[in-house]
Each structure stands twice: as C-alpha cells, then as structure tokens.
C-alpha cells in the first residue's frame, strides 16, 4: 500500500486536450504577462513510436537518456548528434536490470555512467549509454532504511542525498552502500498534519551545484524554491511570483494517513535542472480543474540564480514536462506528450 501511495503521488500521466478555463478555483493557468517573459521556440529533436510517455532526461556524453513511463523499456538512449534512438533498455519487472518505477537519474562522478533510480524498488541501477545493457550483470544499489527516498543524488563518491516521505528531515543521507545515515532540514509545518503527509504535499524535484556545495528543491504543488547546503542546512526559502500553497486534505487509506487532492490543486514546478550559475524550473501554474491530466505540463521556465532571485522567465511555444541541459549549457531538452510524444530543444537566450 505504501508503494502504491508513493507512486500515486508522482504519477506522470499523459496529457489530454486542454479544457476551457474555470474560475471556481481561480484562473486555470496563471498569467505571466507582468513578468515580461522571453519567448523561445522549439524544434523537434526526437520523435517516433518508441516514445510513450517521455519524462525525466539526462545528457551523458554523446547521449540523451530518457525515462519512459509507458513503454516496455524504461530507458531510451538517443544520440545528441542527430536525435536518432540508439537503443532502449531495461524491461519491466523487479529482477536485475529491470524497472517498476524508473523515476530519476543520478551521476556519481563527472564522466561516469549515470544511475537510474527506481522509486518503486528503492534501487539505483547503473546504465552506460555507450555500451549494450546486460540486465544480469547490471550494477545496482539498494537504498535501505526506514525512509522512502524520492530522488537521490550523489553529492560525492561516498554520499547520496534525497528528499523523502519521512519525519526524519527534509533531506535524507545514505552512504555508498545504500545505508541510511541521517536526516536533516526542518520539515514543513501545519498543525495536526502528519510529517509524511506534509512531505508529500511539499515534495519537489532536486538539483545540485557541486562547485557551490548547494542543493535546490523546486516544489511540485507550490511556487517555492528551497536552497540547502550539502549538509542539509537550509540557506534560504523563496517564493515564486504567485505565492500559492498546496491544496490538499489528509485522507485515511487502509489505515495509512496520506495526502488527498482534487480540482483545487495547482501545479508549481514539474522539473528542475541547473548549472553552477542558474536554476531552470518548468512552471505549470495550472489547476487540475482547468487542465486535468495535463496540469503537470508547463509553458514557462522560471530562471533563478543560486541566491534565489528570479532573474528571467522563458515562455515556451508548447507545454512540456521535464528538462535536461546540453553539455555546453546552451540548449534545453524538453519532453512533450501532445500532440504526439517528442523530445524538443530550446536555445537558451542570452
């Protein structure tokens, strides 16, 4: 049941046709005109029947890795040179080299093959995009302990950090063998609400700047950005331009208290990536009432510096779900579901 609730909180569902705006819970999509967004146009970089529900992405060497929630293979490997698919790897299942809920990527050291985190199995699996994948000999790491990690990142060769759904702290730390070490960071606060529910309500994607020794969490159900030091100390918490909070109630599901939400829920940041200079976060600002399943997609990218200042807003010509940065940090890759699944590119304006 716990894994089911965890997956339900993070399901990336396919986009559907946009619905007419409704004002019962405010505007269906928040207006950015006063922020003077810079318009950027997309180019289709990769498409084809091999894509189902493309989600999180990562550039590794000459390849773009794409997680897919609706195909037999969990990871697609695409050439960054021409956009052609090289291979698709990782069949569905619980065995070695298999995936049930491929969620995110983690890179241990520069130049090393990345790891894919399976949120259902609590397991990291290393994937080398440059070589054929052999499930039986795949290198794996199980994150063990009393916490449920959400998106682990390597801080260095010996330490992992992840947001989580526990009461141990906003962040949790694991050693290189996957053993839980400690929690850190003050939890969100709401009288009478269990910590696990608060962690679900204020969950977000995480990115890091190793040279600065900083981490950032961009909240999924609010326009909030939290910046931490690598030891879990909160440096600053900043709000986006619209200042909205998660809209939810506490529900009892089979004896377990969990977050319940409906049409009033507005989506904040669905994806976040960074350089050592800037943080790029896909912003939705859409309600479930107005956009249904496509409320997780956004037409704007909020660009912050590492002091938490909103320095620029980019307006995209189509709604996207996830981002990845090119190796030279000049191009953003973005995943789209409608009108057909595709990987797009946007040139980052000066």
Res 253: pLDDT: 86
pLDDT at 221: 98
Structure tokens at 247: 């809209």
Q: What is the pLDDT of residue 279?
A: 98
Q: Note every long-range contact of 172-178, with CB atoms under 8 Å and residues 24 or more positions apart, other chains counting.
A: 172/145, 172/147, 173/232, 174/143, 174/145, 174/149, 176/141, 177/141, 178/124, 178/141, 178/142, 178/143, 178/144
Grade residue 191 by pLDDT with cuts at 50, 70 and 90. confident
At residue 14, does pLDDT exceed 60? no
3-state secondary structure 144-170: ECCCCECCCEEEECCEEEEEECCCCCC
Residue given tokens 């990115």 in the structure block: 207
Residue-level pLDDT at 71: 80
Residues of the chain with pLDDT > 70, as a percent, come to 93
CA neighbours within 13 Å on the CB side: how many for 345? 16
pTM to 2 decimals? 0.92
Region 48-53: what's the mean pLDDT? 95
**Lookup result for tokens 């004002």:** 23
Q: What confidence score (pLDDT) does residue 188 get?
A: 87
**Is the Cβ–Cβ distance between 155 and 181 less than 8 Å?**
no
Of the chain, the percentage scoring pLDDT greater than 90 comes to 82
pLDDT at 1: 38
Predicted confidence (pLDDT) per residue in 74-106, tens digit: 999 999 999 999 999 988 899 988 999 999 999
- Distances in Å between the Cα of 49 and the Cα atoms of 65, 83, 211, 342 are 16, 14, 39, 10
How far, in whole angstroms, is CA 136 from its chain's centroid?
28
Domains contained in the chain, CATH given: 2-9+24-347 (2.120.10.30)
pLDDT higher than threshold 90 for residue 10: no
Separation CA 151–CA 161 (nearest Å): 8
Reported as a single tens digit per residue, the pLDDT across 198-222 is 999 999 999 999 999 999 999 999 9
Q: What is the DSSP letter of 314?
A: E
Taking only the tens place, the pLDDT of each residue in 235-283 is 999 999 999 999 999 998 888 889 999 999 999 999 999 999 999 999 9
Average pLDDT over residues 125-148: 92
> Does residue 8 or residue 38 have the better pLDDT?
38
Q: What is the pLDDT of residue 289?
A: 94
Predicted confidence band of residue 307 (pLDDT cuts 50, 70, 90): very high
Q: Which of 1-10, 17-26, 72-81, 183-192 has the lowest mean pLDDT?
A: 1-10
Residue 192's pLDDT band, with cuts at 50, 70 and 90, is confident
């Amino acid at each position: 049941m716990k894994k089911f609730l965890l997956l339900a909180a993070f399901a990336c569902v396919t986009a559907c046709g946009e619905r007419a705006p409704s004002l019962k819970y405010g505007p269906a999509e928040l207006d950015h005109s006063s922020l003077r967004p810079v318009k950027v146009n997309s180019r289709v970089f990769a498409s084809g029947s091999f894509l189902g529900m493309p989600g999180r992405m990562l550039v590794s060497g000459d390849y773009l890795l794409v997680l897919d929630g609706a195909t037999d293979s969990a990871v697609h490997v695409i050439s960054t040179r021409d956009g052609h698919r090289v291979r698709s790897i990782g069949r569905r299942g619980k065995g070695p080299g298999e995936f049930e809920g491929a969620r995110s990527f983690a890179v241990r050291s520069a130049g090393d093959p990345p790891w894919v985190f399976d949120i259902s199995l609590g397991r990291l699996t290393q994937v080398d995009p440059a070589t054929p994948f052999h499930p039986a000999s795949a290198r794996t790491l199980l994150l063990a302990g009393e916490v449920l990690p959400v998106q682990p990142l390597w801080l260095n060769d010996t330490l992992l950090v992840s947001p989580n759904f526990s009461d141990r702290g906003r962040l949790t730390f694991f050693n290189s063998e996957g053993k839980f070490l400690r929690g850190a960071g003050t939890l969100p606060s709401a009288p009478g609400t269990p910590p696990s529910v608060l962690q679900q309500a204020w969950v977000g994607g995480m990115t890091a700047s190793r040279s600065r020794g900083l981490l950032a969490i961009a909240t999924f159900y609010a326009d909030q950005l939290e910046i931490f030091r690598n030891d879990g100390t909160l440096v600053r918490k900043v709000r986006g331009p619209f200042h909205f909070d998660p809209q939810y109630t506490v529900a009892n599901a089979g004896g377990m208290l969990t977050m319940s939400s409906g049409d009033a829920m507005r989506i904040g940041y669905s994806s976040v990536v960074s350089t050592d200079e800037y943080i790029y976060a896909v912003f939705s600002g859409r309600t479930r009432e107005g956009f249904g399943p496509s409320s997780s997609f956004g037409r704007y990218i909020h660009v912050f510096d590492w002091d938490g200042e909103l320095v620029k807003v980019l307006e995209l010509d189509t709604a996207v779900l996830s981002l990845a940065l090119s190796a030279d940090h000049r191009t953003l890759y973005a995943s789209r579901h409608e009108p057909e699944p595709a990987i797009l590119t946007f040139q980052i304006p000066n």
